[in-house]
A and B are shown apart, each in its own frame.
Chain A
């Protein structure tokens, strides 16, 4: 009698626990649902759809028709402009990417030496371009090709050039101009993460380091700071890849759309060209898929590199 009672009791308790666990799982999913639904619709579905549409010819008005690997073949064999924009994308990624990444880190490190008040002003100065959004239009005035262009008039004033240079219209300068603007814009979320990371390092680590014979700030940086910042460095890398491979709005507004001879265009703007001007959505999706693949590949490569370096 007693034993059945006990077992009944245990059963109810267990049931209650089960029930509670079940309810908790349900509430977890309920809370997740609004975001997950929107995320699926606006991120997952677009990625999957572009993979699907990359095998079709599609102009938004008629139904997509299946063309197999035609778009990919065209991209690799027939499209000379693609080679150009692919090259530019890599230049953007491998110039602005590492430059911005290293600069963000070094700047955050230097800023960290100051008192909180001064630090917050430096932070604002470097982050302001990212905040101010469309303000990068001002670069078209700075690099304007006539006498009134800011750079031209100063260079002429000092006698360094005789005639104004058409910085944006000339295909040998435009990429340099765009790289400058992109670096100017690149102290974003990754930079903030670095600043925060420096502040989050436990002071006792530095004290211990001093006892162990760390003599100057460079050794401190190398032996203590960088290893403690791996998570932030990984986050910063993701942010950097996302901004330097995704660059398009800056190019459109500063360099023109498209830039002369596609000299400053990247896969990003080339996609917009095919998608919004020529309405060849199938091909635009093929380009998008290629861009996704390059980004994911670069990200996994850098993650591996950073982790291996830290673990050594």
Chain B
């Protein structure tokens, strides 16, 4: 059984459908945006949030691996990093669509766009490292150390860089005045979407871990058969 029960998964399915309906047909578009472009915030920001969360989970399990040397921790870190990259790519694509509507170009090398590309490269290298080392123990140790160092760049690239340089990117959800300035309908859909994307991440994460465990057990059984 995964993190969410069957009922929890069905609730997530219905909730996400309601969020999609609310995002496009119920919430009003925000002011100071071209046309309906502000509606992308209901998907783009939760995706970026889930990517940060996934990289944090990868770092925590990497630290646990270095401490306990359990193969399960290595698998957990790898699963979180894989999903983090998927959500990071989704956030990049949705951001790029927003850029086309707002600034008439899919890509502007804005500080926010540049920093997300760097983040993708950093975690792409993590997957490259895992693929390049054959010895499982060496791979786990090296990638755990790398994931910890890589996570240091996440707050810097996702939160610090875009605030250090002038950017075309709209105000962050918690703005410079430390407030969430959204109308009631936008706030409701936005935070529901953030919660639903977080639940979706944990569902995917639990699936990935369960499949990884089955593959490990199948490999161990095969090795035993060969040895016998």
- A and B: partners? no
